[in-house]
Amino acid sequence: MDRPSLRASALAAAGVALVALIALSSRCQASGAPPNAWAGHPLWDDGQAEINAYDAVETRYGKTRPYVDYQIVVKEPFSRRLLVKADPDHEPADVFPVLKLNHVIHYQTGIYAYHQMLSFFFDPEDMQPLKWTLTSFEWCGNTFKELTRRDKQVRLATRTYWDGDADQEYDLPFDRDTVFYDQLPVWLRSQPLEAGASRTLRVYPTQISSKAPRPQAAPATITVAGREEFALADGSRRSAALVQVALGDGLHRLWFDAEFPHVLLGWERPDGGRGRLKWTRRLKYWELNQPGDERWLNP
C-alpha cells in the first residue's frame, strides 16, 4: 500500500474509533470513571498516544529560535510505590492509570542545540502531577530535575552544572490551588472552558531550563476569554477557546480546540515564545521505530 493510502486508512480508522469512543462517554461516566470527566473519557483507553506537532519559536540569547515542538499525551499503567510506568508483570494492587505528557523541545543556537524534555504524570482523579521530570542538555552540560508527590509531601530534587544550584533537594508547598506552568497545556484541557470561567491560583514558573533556582509560586488569574477562530500553521482555522493566564511577567495566551478532546492549538508568551499546531494524530509511536517510519512526522 502506498503512503497516501496508508495515511487515508489510518485517518479513517482513527475517525471511526473516535466517533465510537465519544458515543461511549456517558456509559463510562456512569460506570465509575475518575472524577475528572476529561481524564476519564474512553478516548484515552484506545491504546494509542495523542501526538501534537507545532511550528514554534523560542527566545534564547535575545533571538528567536524556530523549531518543531512535540507534545505527546498517553494513558499508561503506573506504580504507586515506585512512581514509574508499571510493567505487565507488576504487582496488580500497586498499579493504577495515569495520563502522561511528554513535551519535547529541540532548537539550534548557533553552533550548538538545546535538547529538552519534560514528562508530567497526572493523577486522573484531580489532574495534578504525581511526578514530573526534566532533562535538559546542550554543549555546556546536563541538567536533571525530578518532582514527586506522595500523599501530602511534594519533593523536588535538582542536579545541574550551574554553580550555586548544582545539587538540591527540598519540599515544595503544593495544594489543590497550586499548579505548575508546564502542566497548563494538558491541565487546562481538563478544566471548564466555558466563556467567562475564571479562577485564581498560585503558579510555579516553567521548569524547562538548565538552571534550577528554588521555584516560588506566584498568584495568577486564569480566565476563559471566549471563543474565536484560530489560524493553524497551515492557514486553516478552527473554533477555539482562548484562555488567558495573567502572571507577573504579563499575559500568557493559550488556544484550545472548542471540540473534545480540546487539543492545544497554539500559545503566545510575553517573551515572544509562540506555537501553532501543525498536525495532531493518534499513533502507537513506540511501534514506529523502523527505517522509513519517519514519514509519520510529515502527515
pLDDT for 43? 97
* Burial class of residue 222 in the structure, from the number of CB atoms within 10 Å of its CB (0-12 exposed, 13-18 middle, 19+ buried): buried
What pLDDT tens digit does each residue of the chain (299 aa) get? Answer: 444 444 444 444 444 333 333 333 333 333 344 469 999 999 999 999 999 999 999 999 999 999 999 999 999 999 999 999 999 999 999 999 999 999 999 999 999 999 999 999 999 999 999 999 999 999 999 999 999 999 889 999 999 999 998 999 999 999 999 999 999 999 999 999 999 999 999 999 999 999 999 999 999 999 999 999 999 999 999 999 999 999 999 999 999 999 999 999 999 999 999 999 999 999 999 999 999 999 999 98
**pTM for the structure as a whole:** 0.87
> Residue 152: CB partners within 8 Å, gap ≥ 6?
none
**H or E element: which one contains 29?**
helix 25-30
- Closest of 298, 278, 282 to residue 53, by C-alpha: 278
Alpha-carbon span 299 to 282, nearest angstrom: 12
Do residues 280 and 257 lie in contact, with contact meaning Cβ atoms separated by under 8 Å?
no
- Strands 95-109 and 112-123 turn out to be antiparallel
Q: Taking the mean position of all CA atoms in its chain, how far away is CA 285?
A: 16
pLDDT for 89? 97
User: Three-class SS of residue 71?
Assistant: strand
| Domain range enclosing 34 | 3-297
pLDDT for 35? 67
92 preceded by cis ω (within 30°)? no
Alpha-carbon span 34 to 257, nearest angstrom: 23
Q: Cell triple for residue 265? A: 492549538
**What is the number of domains present in the chain?**
1
Bridge partners, residue 118, by sequence: 103, 134
Do residues 138 and 112 lie in contact, with contact meaning Cβ atoms separated by under 8 Å?
yes
Q: Taking the mean position of all CA atoms in its chain, how far away is CA 273?
A: 16
Do residues 238 and 229 lie in contact, with contact meaning Cβ atoms separated by under 8 Å?
yes
Q: Cell triple for residue 237? A: 482555522
pLDDT for 16? 36
The CA-based angle 130-101-295, given to 5 degrees, is: 155
pLDDT for 5? 42
DSSP-derived letter for residue 85 is B
